[in-house]
C-alpha cells in the first residue's frame, strides 16, 4: 500500500510540461510549500483495508535536504520515503522536475476554487482555498487539491496544503471509491 503513494509521486515526476515562469523568493506567504534546506514535516500514515479497518500506522519525515542546480534552475531536493523529488516554487505554484528534465505544475498557487488543469494523464482540481483540516499539529486552513490519474490507475488523491506551512494531509482512496486507502497527517514540522 505504501507503494501506491510512491507510484503516484513517480507518475507526477515522469510527466512533462515546461514552465516559463521564474522561481520566486521563498517567503512563507509566497508559496504553498516552503522549500528552505532544513525544513521538515513529520507525518503519520494510517493504512486501511477495504472495510475501513486500520491495518498499520507509521510515522515518517519529509525533509528538504539540499538545493541543486539542474539546467540552470535551482531546485529544492525533498526526501520523502527514500525518494528524492526536485521542487521549485514559481509565481503560479509548485513544480516538480520530471525524469526527462521537464517541469510539471503539481500545485497551482495562488488559485481559486474551481480551477482545474491537466498534466499528462493527471487531472488536478482546486476544490477549496480555505478548508479547515484537523491534524495532530492543530487545526489548519488549507488549499484542497483533488488529483485523478486518468490513465487507468485510478487512485484518487485529496491533498491538503497550508500556505506557508506546506504538507497537512494527503488521502489516497481506493479505485472509484471514497474509501480511504492511506491517510497521511501532519504531526509536527519545522520551518526556517
DSSP letter assigned to residue 165: T
DSSP letter assigned to residue 53: -
Q: How far is CA 176 from the centre of its chain?
A: 21
pLDDT values of the chain reduced to their tens digit, one per residue, 192 residues: 444 343 333 333 333 333 344 555 445 568 999 999 999 999 999 999 989 999 999 999 999 999 999 989 999 999 999 999 999 999 999 999 987 888 999 999 999 999 999 987 899 999 999 999 999 888 999 999 999 988 776 789 999 999 999 999 999 998 767 789 999 999 999 999
Q: CB 57: neighbour CB atoms within 10 A?
A: 10
Q: Quote the pLDDT of residue 177.
A: 73
Q: Quote the pLDDT of residue 23.
A: 55
Q: Quote the pLDDT of residue 174.
A: 87
Domain residue limits, the chain: 2-190
Q: Quote the pLDDT of residue 17.
A: 36
Tell me the whole-structure pTM to 2 decimals: 0.84
- From edge to edge, which strands make up the β-sheet containing 83-90? 103-108, 93-97, 83-90, 73-80, 54-70, 40-48, 180-190, 166-173, 157-162, 138-149, 122-135, 116-119
Q: Quote the pLDDT of residue 98.
A: 85
CB 136, CB 156: distance < 8 Å? no
2-190: CATH topology is YmcC-like fold (2.40.360)
Amino acid at each position: 500500500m505504501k507503494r501506491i503513494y510512491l507510484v503516484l509521486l513517480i507518475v507526477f515526476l515522469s510527466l512533462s510540461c515546461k514552465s516559463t515562469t521564474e522561481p520566486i523568493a521563498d517567503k512563507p506567504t509566497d508559496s504553498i510549500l516552503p522549500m528552505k534546506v532544513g525544513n521538515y514535516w513529520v507525518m503519520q500514515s494510517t493504512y486501511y483495508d477495504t472495510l475501513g479497518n486500520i491495518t498499520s500506522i507509521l510515522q515518517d519525515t519529509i525533509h528538504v535536504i539540499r538545493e541543486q542546480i539542474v539546467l540552470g534552475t535551482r531546485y529544492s531536493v525533498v526526501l520523502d520515503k527514500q525518494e528524492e523529488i526536485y521542487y521549485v516554487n514559481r509565481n503560479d505554484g509548485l513544480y516538480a522536475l520530471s525524469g526527462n528534465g521537464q517541469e510539471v505544475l503539481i500545485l497551482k498557487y495562488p488559485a481559486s476554487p474551481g480551477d482545474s488543469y491537466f498534466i499528462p494523464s493527471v487531472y488536478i482540481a482546486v476544490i477549496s482555498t480555505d478548508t479547515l483540516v484537523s491534524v495532530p499539529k492543530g487545526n489548519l486552513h488549507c488549499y484542497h487539491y483533488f488529483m485523478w490519474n486518468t490513465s487507468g490507475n485510478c487512485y484518487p488523491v485529496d491533498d491538503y496544503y497550508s500556505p506557508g506551512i506546506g504538507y497537512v494531509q494527503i488521502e489516497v482512496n481506493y479505485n472509484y471509491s471514497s474509501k480511504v486507502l492511506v491517510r497521511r497527517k501532519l504531526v509536527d514540522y519545522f520551518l526556517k
